[in-house]
Amino acid sequence: MNGFMTILRRDLHLAIRQSIDSMTVVMFFVLVVIIFPFGVGPEPNILARIASGVIWVAALLASTLSLERLFQIDYEDGSLELLSLSSVALEVIVLAKVTAHWLTTGLPLIIIAPLLAILLNMNKEGFLVLILALVVGTPSLSLIGAVGAALILGARRGGVLLALIILPLYLPVLIFGVSAVDAIMNGFEAKAQLLILGAFLLAALPLCTWAATTSIKQAIE
């Protein structure tokens, strides 16, 4: 627990010191969402129909953008290797980094999502479920993304490759996240979709941590 908190505090300090990095991710998120009315036209009914999908896709893309730096910086200056040699298990270190990533990327996205839902004229009923679905879904995005970030350490063109690798793996979270909001807006319950998103998170916690740790060990050999 001590090691987890140490790494978490370190990564949060680094992120706050360069807070422009997480602000960039949030700005990208907002920009992607804002571009859509320019593309599909400002008619409110159409925007309301696509609002949940657009917000989720933008969250996915913003998440992908910020993941490259998760391990890359520590890998390049050798601190990842030193961390792996410490008494703290590499799995705990990976979990701490992923938590820090979610706190500095996922959480700002969740906070700004209602504003964007207003911009896209989303129905009032969908707001709460959108927030809930994002709260349950974005940690899974950080976890799955961590696997991708660990796989591309040392690769050429890592950023684009990362998107190519993890976007197919993001699809289940996207499908159920949008389905939850759409269900509420059509008058149904969203409980099933939220529970499935929770199941994804619970499954991703051990599996993605294991996969990311194995990939990092391959990278620093």
Partner 1 sequence: MLHHFANPTRFLRIASIAQPWVAWATILLAGAGLYLGLFNSPADYQQGESVRIMYVHVPAAWMAMFCYISMAMAAGIGLIWKHPLADIAAKATAPVGACFTFLALFTGSLWGKPMWGTWWVWDARLTSMLVLLFLYLGYIALINAFDDPARGTKSSSILVLVGLINVPIIKFSVDWWNTLHQPASVLRMGGPSIDESMLWPLLLMAVAFKTYYIWVLLVRIRAEIISNKIRILRLRQVHG
DSSP-derived 3-state class of residue 203? helix
- Applying CB under 8 A, does 202 fall inside the site for partner 1? no
Quote the least distance from Cβ 151 to partner 1, whole Å: 5
> Whose Cβ is closer to partner 1: residue 83's or residue 150's?
150
Quote the tokens at residue 88: 């703290």
Please list, in sequence order, all residues whose beta carbon lies within 8 angstroms of the beta carbon of residue 84, skipping any fewer than 6 positions away.
Answer: 90, 93, 216, 217, 220
Establish if 151 lies at the interface with partner 1 (CB under 8 A): yes
104, 138, 140, 215: which one binds partner 1 (CB under 8 A): 215
Q: Give the shortest CB-170-to-partner 1 separation in angstroms.
A: 10
Three-state DSSP class for 156?
A: coil
DSSP alpha helix (H) spans, 68-157: 69-76, 79-85, 90-101, 107-119, 126-151
The reply on whether position 138 binds partner 1 by CB under 8 A is no
Total of chain residues touching partner 1, rule CB under 8 A: 20
**Residue 199 near partner 1 by CB under 8 A:** no
State the Cα–Cα distance between residues 221 and 218, nearest whole angstrom: 5
**Residue 55 near residue 120 (C-beta atoms within 8 A):** yes
**Residue from 111, 128, 155, 195 that binds partner 1 (CB under 8 A)?**
155
Asked if 152 touches partner 1 (CB under 8 A), the answer is yes
Measured distance CA(197)–CA(135) in Å, rounded: 10
For partner 1, the binding residues (CB under 8 A) are: 147, 151-152, 154-158, 161, 164-165, 167-169, 171, 211, 214-215, 218-219
